[in-house]
Structure 1
């Protein structure tokens, strides 16, 4: 198998590169390094099964030779990223998806779109099943990401229906693990770094909003099972174990034995109040469910961030 991964130098994309190489795939990673990092893939540079192409997939994509799978994971995903790069986020969700689908069509390859739980917006149904259409503000600051992914899903299904492309759509819920950026901007890496530095932990709102965190190895396994399936409609992949943001902050202080205190700031516009995947479909169709307990995943992730802070010259 020869597999293209756009955004392959990112957090999730780089773990997919590793996983597919272990499965025997030849992997071509395409990334313009806007939010991805070479550090995430440096360990496979020189591997005969791996090739890196620095390229912006919002421009036309050309790859020579056979291609069996195209996995489109290129996009800013953190709120701090897509608020800093709103136009690039919209372009990679639209033009990047168009060009990635065009590559799959030209090569007669399977196509898998990395979508997101953000297509559900600030949901009015809990937990969120795949047949829920969402509650999204298209003109709010988060709309550049939410609507880009909703458009990408619509385009993927159009290529499936009109051109007969063999497509998949994974809706990814909150995921964590090694290779997240220290300055990622999301709650979990922020909390970890603040706790390790004994700084105040910043909680937005009153902390009662909920999230459900899936460890990266579970997510990658779910994505692979979806790739191998014959399911064309969207599938939620995430961990249904729900936790409030305040509880997460308290848990982080306890895990790190930190002297940090929790401080509260104003909740950002359109920030979802609840987030929990209904994974009934993944359990039934893919025979998949998460296996890594949060305590185990947090320990592994904390060890990574501790090393990152030390290597960055920061005192922990």
Structure 2
């Protein structure tokens, strides 16, 4: 049985990856320090013989006994609210954490896949964004802690590949949504759905003409799985190129939730990207991958998940006591 380590295992994407690799017959070792992750996302796996969980911070030395075939590094705050509250931890998990896991991959002779994101493109001057675009990032702006953590992550990963011969893969993830997202984490999908289900007005930052492209989590996991087992070592965009303005998206959510809220507008945060649309030509060519789930179908599944939450969970705001380091 092949063994895979998945960091950020109790998070939104990490938990779905744990499910996929369990279903594919792997022995899965999940690792998370639970700063932003939640054990309820993986509690259904604890009874399984081929799943183990380590409560550990990857910015500290990482030791996993026994053989290890694959590592998927998904540990990182991923929402604006998180990385603005814990900027130093965000930088550390992208730098120290990635360094530790690349060292582990070298020691174990394991293949490692690093989760980068579309944030490496910053507020892009090229549209749609392809992997050859170097980006437009404000290194000292409020979003710089996340953007630069991911850019450094890619650089050190390629250095380990070229200098140490470590088998590496890099996925650039665009906006993804689905069950297990946290309410009130600052991302647009749970924000709009949560506001609709609570009967609140939907809040748009800016004029609503900025765009996003949303990929359903099952499609994303499939793309990541194919990339891990490909022979391609350079970054690959994985996302859904179906672009929509935030204003149109808000109106779409109101219809799908069958509610009747108003839309209110607030100032756009500093360096918030005005356009997001992946060029997925490389993923199509190299991986034979493209998204299958329409936004309409994916949002209905996601709304059903949020409706299943208790009233207390739906009403509760995120109050996390982040330790400053």
| Short-chain TM bin | over 0.9
Q: Secondary structure at the match of 1:128?
A: coil
Please state how far the C-alpha of 1:314 moved relative to its aligned partner. Answer: 4.3
Please state how far the C-alpha of 1:308 moved relative to its aligned partner. Answer: 1.8
Is 1:68 the counterpart of 2:69? The answer is: yes
Correspondence 1:283-298 to 2 at 5 A: 283-298=284-299
Structure 1 distance, partners of 2:5, 2:306, is 29
Is 1:190 the counterpart of 2:191? The answer is: yes
Please state how far the C-alpha of 1:183 moved relative to its aligned partner. Answer: 2.1
Q: Do the aligned residues in 1 keep the contact of 2:6 with 2:71 (CA within 8 Å)?
A: yes
Give me the TM-score of the superposition, normalised by structure 2. Answer: 0.96
Structure 2 distance, partners of 1:295, 1:227, is 28
Q: Do the aligned residues in 2 keep the contact of 1:45 with 1:51 (CA within 8 Å)?
A: yes
Structure 1 distance, partners of 2:101, 2:245, is 36
Number of aligned pairs?
315
Q: Deviations over 1:216-268 (max 9, x none)?
A: 00000000000000000000000000000101100011111112110000000
Structure 2 distance, partners of 1:238, 1:314, is 30
Q: Secondary structure at the match of 2:120?
A: helix
Correspondence 1:75-224 to 2 at 5 A: 75-224=76-225
Structure 1 distance, partners of 2:282, 2:314, is 45
Structure 1 distance, partners of 2:267, 2:186, is 15
Please state how far the C-alpha of 1:12 moved relative to its aligned partner. Answer: 0.3
Structure 2 distance, partners of 1:12, 1:117, is 15
Is 1:21 the counterpart of 2:16? The answer is: no
Which stretches in structure 1 are left out of the alignment for 5+ residues? none
Q: Deviations over 1:72-112 (max 9, x none)?
A: 00000001110011000000000000001011000000010
Correspondence 1:243-282 to 2 at 5 A: 243-282=244-283
Which stretches in structure 2 are left out of the alignment for 5+ residues? 317-325
Q: Secondary structure at the match of 1:299?
A: helix
Give me the TM-score of the superposition, normalised by structure 1. Answer: 0.98
| Structure 1 residues 109 and 250: alpha-carbon distance in aligned structure 2, compared to 1, 3 A threshold | same
Q: Secondary structure at the match of 1:249?
A: helix
RMSD: 1.0
Q: Do the aligned residues in 2 keep the contact of 1:72 with 1:113 (CA within 8 Å)?
A: yes
Is 1:34 the counterpart of 2:35? The answer is: yes
Q: Secondary structure at the match of 2:309?
A: helix
Other-structure match for 1:57? 58
Q: Deviations over 1:153-183 (max 9, x none)?
A: 0000000000000000000000000000012
Other-structure match for 2:321? none
Q: Deviations over 1:135-160 (max 9, x none)?
A: 00000000000000000000000000
Structure 2 distance, partners of 1:248, 1:198, is 17
Q: Do the aligned residues in 1 keep the contact of 2:183 with 2:314 (CA within 8 Å)?
A: no
Q: Do the aligned residues in 1 keep the contact of 2:183 with 2:190 (CA within 8 Å)?
A: yes
Q: Segments of 4+ in structure 1 off by > 6 A? A: none
Q: Do the aligned residues in 2 keep the contact of 1:4 with 1:70 (CA within 8 Å)?
A: yes
Structure 1 distance, partners of 2:95, 2:314, is 39
Other-structure match for 2:322? none
Structure 2 distance, partners of 1:90, 1:160, is 21
Structure 2 distance, partners of 1:46, 1:254, is 40
Q: Secondary structure at the match of 1:4?
A: strand
Q: Secondary structure at the match of 1:239?
A: coil
Please state how far the C-alpha of 1:198 moved relative to its aligned partner. Answer: 1.3
Q: Do the aligned residues in 1 keep the contact of 2:45 with 2:51 (CA within 8 Å)?
A: yes
Please state how far the C-alpha of 1:311 moved relative to its aligned partner. Answer: 5.7
